Amino acid sequence: MSAFIDQLNRKIEQTSAPKRIISLVPSQTELLYDLGLRDEVVGITKFCIHPDEWFRSKVRIGGTKKIDFEKIKELQPDLIIGNKEENEQSQIEKLMKHYTVWMSDIYTLKDAYDMITRIGTLVGKQQEATFLKLQIESQFNQFSQSNIPSNKKTAYFIWNDPYMVAGSNTFINEVMKCCGLENIFTEKESRYPEVSAEELNNLQPELILLSSEPYPFKQKHIDELQLICPSAKILLVDGELFSWYGTRLLKTPDYLKDLNKLIGE
């Protein structure tokens, strides 16, 4: 019997490496794929779109916040992997009564690195996880050494009607800092505060980033916001590369380099 600690500081025990895993988080699903767990992962959410072959072939157990408990029961998992922010507490607590559940809790790159190595150890892929973590860490270190911070006053939008933005203590804010951007909404109490057009007009951000997820912003939203903040540069950005904290982070530093070029134009 081996004991493991998750990122909520909970101890779980496993008699052997898990053979029937369910992932409740898209970014962690992709990590499990990159760790080589082709047969061991038996269930994913409808939002686990990467890799495509799993999205088309694996059993979907609902959404990240609307779990199908009957489907999970049918799959008989020996491990379920979730996340504090992305999954509903009441549903996770219900699962914990019947299954082994490992939870992540991620705000920073350091947390992401820790999650990758802990999950690797948990599923018997410690060497592979360490290699992936070191790759990501090296790429971010190289990016930070070459990046010249713009310190532009920035708003990162995640939702429309009402407008919602990323605030402090979020992984998105961490990536913004890596990019050298000043998040103008870090003083808000909420991690994802609602903001009004009037507030935006008063603050006049220099840069507005509109995420591709969870709300799919389009050109019409750029036009709408440009009327509120006429002097701001407004860009559509890949939300996965700002908010996914698994192995998609391998792609983030190069994306941020290209984004910085666009910001500087």
Q: What is the pLDDT of residue 149?
A: 86
User: Please, which pLDDT band fits residue 114 given cuts at 50, 70 and 90?
Assistant: very high
Find the mean pLDDT for residues 60-67. Answer: 97
Find the mean pLDDT for residues 48-71. Answer: 97
User: Please, which pLDDT band fits residue 264 given cuts at 50, 70 and 90?
Assistant: confident
Do the beta carbons of residue 147 and residue 256 sit within 8 Å? Answer: yes
Q: What is the mean pLDDT of the chain?
A: 96
Find the mean pLDDT for residues 86-99. Answer: 98
* Planar angle of CA 211, 214, 216, nearest 5 degrees: 60
Per CATH, domain 153-264 is 3.40.50.1980 = yes
Q: What is the pLDDT of residue 142?
A: 95
Domain 2-106 fold is Rossmann fold (3.40.50)
The residue among 153, 262, 171, 164 whose CA lies nearest residue 215 is: 164
Identical fold between 2-106 and 153-264: yes
pLDDT tens-digit series, residues 23-50: 999 999 999 999 999 999 999 999 999 9
Q: Does residue 148 register a pLDDT over 90?
A: no
Q: What is the pLDDT of residue 265?
A: 74
Single-letter code of the amino acid located at 194 = E
Q: Tell me 9's DSSP state.
A: S
The full set of domain ranges for the chain reads 2-106, 153-264
Do the beta carbons of residue 154 and residue 208 sit within 8 Å? Answer: yes
Find the mean pLDDT for residues 205-217. Answer: 97
Q: What is the pLDDT of residue 173?
A: 98
Strand 21-23 and strand 11-14: the pairing is unpaired
Q: What is the pLDDT of residue 234?
A: 98
161: Cβ–Cβ under 8 A, 6 or more apart, which residues?
Answer: none
The three state secondary structure string of 35-101 is: CCCCCCEEEECCCCCCCHHHHHHCEECECCCCECHHHHHHHCCCEEEEECCCCCHHHHHHHHCCCCE
Do the beta carbons of residue 123 and residue 30 sit within 8 Å? Answer: no
Q: Does residue 227 register a pLDDT over 80?
A: yes
d(C-alpha 60, C-alpha 197), whole Å: 38
Q: Does residue 208 register a pLDDT over 80?
A: yes
Single-letter code of the amino acid located at 109 = L
Which is more confidently placed, 149 or 95?
95
Strand 233-237 and strand 207-211: the pairing is parallel
Token pair, residue 19, equals 């053979």
| Residues facing residue 194 across a β-bridge | 164
C-alpha distances (whole Å) from 138 to each of 18, 71, 141, 250 are 30, 40, 5, 10
Q: Does residue 1 register a pLDDT over 80?
A: no
d(C-alpha 247, C-alpha 253), whole Å: 12
pTM > 0.85: yes
Find the mean pLDDT for residues 63-88. Answer: 98
